[in-house]
Amino acid sequence: MPKLYALILQYLSDESLDAVQKEAGWAVVEQDANPEALWQLVEMKHEVHLASKVEEVVKLAARTQLATTRQGAFESIIAFKQRYTNALKACKDQKNPIMSPQDEAMDFFGKLNNARYAEFKTNYINSLQLKSCKPPADLNEIFTLANTYLKPKVANGNGLGSPFATTADYISKKRETE
């Protein structure tokens, strides 16, 4: 437990550590070196609602965070799903209107990186249009589909080229001796 406690402290920025240390329960957390209690303080200090004390501003910040969440060019789909889920949770925690699980799935789908998932997105939309598949039931279903989608490997050229060339007219089967 103390090792986990130290690991969490190691990755806190100076600003985050300062904010956590100002909390009322900090003395007990520090004395016990309790990683769970430390993490609860960290989460409490990093919630969206701390942007303001005005409820409408907080709700707007949560909605804006969710609306602007997009998969980065070099971000894995797993990391993106975690960020998206966190933004969605923050939105729900602030009592913003809740999307249906199907809407959450399609929202996530729309925010996937177009450069990496363009073919998947096109094929999936076409399949939905043709009614050859059903819309995703929830976020996990569309995540699994996107994460396991196989892109065909396209070989360069037509495959008829030779990987080497020779100038020999014939092949000698005699072994050269030393």
Same domain (yes/no): 71, 10? no
168 in a domain, yes or no? no
Say how many domains are in the chain: 2
Cα–Cα nearest to 2, from 32, 26, 27: 32
The dihedral built from the CA positions of residue 32, 34, 37 and 42, taken in this order, carries a sign that is positive
Contact of 51 with 58, CB cutoff 8 Å:
yes
pLDDT of residue 83: 92
Selected residue with higher pLDDT from 61 and 123 = 123
Indicate whether 28 belongs to any domain: yes
Give the largest CA-CA distance in the chain. 91
The verdict on residue 15 lying in a domain is yes
Does one domain contain both 72 and 12?
A: no
Rounded to an integer, what distance in angstroms lies between the CA atom of residue 92 and that of residue 57?
Answer: 15
Residues 78, 7: one domain? no
Does residue 157 fall inside a structural domain?
A: no
63 and 144 co-located in one domain = yes
> Average pLDDT in the 140-165 region?
75
On whether both 107 and 129 belong to a single domain, the answer is yes
14, part of any domain: yes
pLDDT at 137 > cutoff 60: yes
- Which has the higher per-residue pLDDT, 85 or 40? 85
Structure tokens that stand for 154 in this block: 């396209």
75 and 32 co-located in one domain: no
Confidence of residue 66 (pLDDT cuts 50, 70, 90): very high
Task: List the domain range (segments joined by +) for residue 85.
Answer: 54-148
Do 37 and 58 have their domain in common? no
49-62 average pLDDT score: 76
11 or 118: whose pLDDT is higher? 118
Q: Summarize the confidence of residues 20-49 as an average pLDDT.
A: 83
In the prediction, which pLDDT does 20 show?
86
- Is the pLDDT confidence value at 89 over 60? yes
Q: Is residue 16 included in any domain, yes or no?
A: yes
| % of the chain exceeding 90 in pLDDT | 46
In a domain, 97, yes or no: yes
Please tell me the pTM assigned to this model: 0.62
* Residue 130 predicted with pLDDT over 90: yes
